[in-house]
Amino acid sequence: MTATAHLQAGPARASEIEARIGELLARMSLDQKIGQMTQPERAHISPAEVKAYHIGSVLSGGGSCPGDNRPADWVAMNDAYWAASMEEDEDHLAIPLLYGVDAIHGNGNVRGATIFPHNIGLGAMRDPDLIERIGRVTAREVLATGVDWTFAPTLAVARDPRWGRTYESYSEDPALVAEYADRIVRGLQGARNGTGPDRPGRGGVIACAKHWVGDGGTLAGVDQGDTVAAEEELRRLHIAPYLPALDAGVLTVMVSLSSWNGEKCHAHRYLIQEVLKRELGLRGFVVSDWNGIDPLAEDYAEAAAMAVNAGIDMFMVPETWRDFIGGLKQRVEWGVVPMQRIDDAVTRILRVKFAAGLFDRPRPWARRGANGSSFGSREHREVAREAVRKSLVLLKNEAGTLPLDRDARILVTGRNAHDRGAQCGGFTVEWQGVSGNDAIQGGTSVWEGIQARAPRAEHRTDGGADASPDDFDVAVVVIGERPYAEGLGDIREPGPVRPGANHVPAGPGALQPYGNTLELSALHPEDVATIQALSGRGIPVVTVLVSGRPLVVNPELAASAAFVAAWLPGSEGAGLADVLFGDHDFQGRLPRSWPAEMPSGEDPRRNGSVAGGASILFPIGHGLRTR
């Protein structure tokens, strides 16, 4: 059954669910209720503790994987947690555990998964139908591991490319994000009316729209920073994409670690309780982000109480889950947190579990989708390869350099030419992603895709140091960023961000940004050196940029005969060859403005542009064709 079928199966079914919730809630103790609201990380809790503390959910942080990180290892882990949660006795009620992961571009944690382009590349496709298909494939590969919940889609409207999470945003344009929002939710959760093509067990997973709200609008793109905006602008730019997602029945929403006008979203009662729940009608539950309550108050129990009273229902408290449980219980007993708020939170959590059919599903290893043979299958990879093709944006093509002749003598080089890890970026096998090819099983690098088409292509790791136009007709130079995630991808000066601006970074990541400029020639000077050396010797260069965002690439562009923005294409690098050799023409269009210079200001609205206030080289929507 699809994840929202029970919610949409009609009033009779919905009222049956509400009756079951009421009956169960009436039997629950305060400990059992608070347990349902608690989400530890797998490395910090055992199945026995899940039962002893009545835990409602467990998650894997990025890269936190069981055993040999194969689907069977995940199924076994989830089965153990589920079994513990269902062992009813005089102290424990059988309420199925909900396991959550960041399957944000395919089930990225797991070896051998189909890895789709990150959202910035999907935004370049302008293809909502394909977005829904991607959601459906992703759901299948999540269910194959016994997992029911993904912390996706990200509905951020990234307004400044200096943000380390720009690649998780479909676009700087809220309208494009909104156009995808309902489709990705339907793809992940299964058809809204529950009569979709999926059979029980192969249906949907629970989706999670994130991060509520304004995560992509912070000053200078600082991760977890402060979004300074009037409410009208917050609604127009950052809340707008949530409306179609809510209409599509998204079951959960994750709160942002950022602030709005200096107030942490995790403590923002108006945004959560009044706007998201009351005004916009979320019927599912709200989950905090990773340690999101920590900065709210010196006293952890007080911080927990603030967040619960603000309207958050479930708490991602990876290591401090015991303190959370004890602190919240104390604040309930003191009357600081009303029992009505606890009951509302638990009602919402139970509603999602019933809506997703968790009470009706068999144990993880007995489910039809578990260890599904479609995991990482050729069929799934073809969907990802189509997305790669459609995501590529052609920014320059002098003298018809592209498409390439498959019989040409092609030199392929550059740091990211044969690096499936770089293609995938962050949230792939590891939180920060991986470099190289070993950890990304299945799939193809850019070089492997070219090699399969062009018998006279040659890969060089030395940048083609002695290559001559006598030996090569053209060079394909694949450059760009190494993998990163979240604050580690920010572009700003290293070190603590001005506390006065309420940019209170959490954890070590926010302190070591990727670099202090968007100028690629400063971040990775070897890239422009390679391009200039080859073009300077008379070999025309097709430059392919693998990056999580637009970068300032003026010298690289100038020295290239053709230039392709490939974003973070994921595991199916062969999709580039499909277009470079002309089987398919370029169709991608920029999902965001391309800056001509390094943004200097804090305010993304300066200059009327959205590239962090910088002047624009290519506008949103730009993209060339070869024919």
DSSP 552: B
Give min distance, CB of 151 to ligand GLC, in A.
4
**Of these, 127, 289, 490, 578, which contacts ligand GLC (CB under 6 A)?**
289
- Let me know the angle formed at the C-alpha of 308 by 307 and 311, rounded to the nearest 5 degrees: 90
Q: Is residue 62 a contact point for ligand GLC (CB under 6 A)?
A: yes
Of 538-597, binders to ligand GLC (CB under 6 A) are none
Based on CB atoms, which residue is closest to ligand GLC, 205 or 574? 205
Based on CB atoms, which residue is closest to ligand GLC, 79 or 289? 289
Give min distance, CB of 197 to ligand GLC, in A.
28
Active site residue 486: yes
Continuous H helices in 171-289: 174-189, 231-233, 242-247, 269
Question: Do residues 170 and 621 make contact, with C-beta atoms less than 8 angstroms apart?
Answer: no
Q: Is residue 151 a contact point for ligand GLC (CB under 6 A)?
A: yes
Decide: helix, strand or coil at residue 346: helix
Q: Is residue 290 a contact point for ligand GLC (CB under 6 A)?
A: yes
Query: 């007080």: which residue's tokens?
Result: 302
172 phi, psi to nearest 5 deg: -80, -10
Give min distance, CB of 479 to ligand GLC, in A.
28
Strands of 512-561 (E only): list them. 541-546
Give min distance, CB of 130 to ligand GLC, in A.
23
Question: Do residues 59 and 42 make contact, with C-beta atoms less than 8 angstroms apart?
Answer: yes
Active site residue 289: yes
* Contact letters for ligand GLC, residues 234-273 (x by CB under 6 A): -----------------------x----------------
- Catalytic residue selected from 215, 294, 386, 486: 486
Rg (CA), the chain: 24
Q: Give dist(CA 337, CA 453) in Å, integer.
A: 64
Based on CB atoms, which residue is closest to ligand GLC, 59 or 474? 59
| Long-range CB pairs of 62-69, under 8 A, 24+ apart, other chains included | 62/102, 62/108, 62/109, 62/426, 62/427, 62/430, 62/431, 62/432, 62/485, 63/109, 63/429, 63/430, 63/431, 63/432, 64/109, 65/109, 65/110, 65/429, 66/42, 68/111, 69/109, 69/110, 69/111, 69/429
Q: Is residue 285 a contact point for ligand GLC (CB under 6 A)?
A: no
Give min distance, CB of 210 to ligand GLC, in A.
6
Based on CB atoms, which residue is closest to ligand GLC, 171 or 258? 258
Of 207-226, binders to ligand GLC (CB under 6 A) are 210
Based on CB atoms, which residue is closest to ligand GLC, 212 or 594? 212
Give min distance, CB of 290 to ligand GLC, in A.
4
Based on CB atoms, which residue is closest to ligand GLC, 257 or 528? 257
Q: Which helix (H) or strand (E) holds 27?
A: helix 11-27
Q: Which helix (H) or strand (E) holds 59?
A: strand 57-59
Q: Which helix (H) or strand (E) holds 382?
A: helix 378-391
Number of residues that bind ligand GLC (CB under 6 A): 8
Q: Is residue 61 a contact point for ligand GLC (CB under 6 A)?
A: yes
**Residues involved in catalysis:** 289, 486
Interface with ligand GLC (CB under 6 A): 61-62, 102, 151, 210, 257, 289-290
